[in-house]
Amino acid sequence: LPDYKRHSDILESMIIKLYSKGVTTREIADLIEKMYGSHYSPAQVSNISKQMIPKVEAYHQRKLSDKFFCVYLDATYIPLRRITFDREAVYIA
């Protein structure tokens, strides 16, 4: 059989979706085995998920419109003594 033709398309698409969401290859292998009863090693999951590399590279190299801009927001909590002792968020943009 050619590479990966023995795997079902449904499981492959599930592996790719999970990988794109940030689930580790070991966790994906465990989930697939528990849900479908099919055994995949973390190496097999990694090989299947490599199909995403061209899509990721195309996404990184796409042209952005001049209308895009970015605002970074973050918060830190500091203790403040007012009426009661409390922690309050200070937002930074």
Whole-number Å distance between alpha carbons of 19 and 28:
8
pLDDT tens, residue by residue, 57-66? 898 898 888 8
How much of the chain is helix, strand and coil, in % rounded to 5? 45, 15, 35
Strand locations in the chain (E):
74-81, 85-92
Q: Could you identify the residue written with the tokens 């996404």?
A: 59
Q: pTM above 0.75? A: no
Adjacent-strand bridge partners of 89: 77
- Residue 4: predicted pLDDT: 54
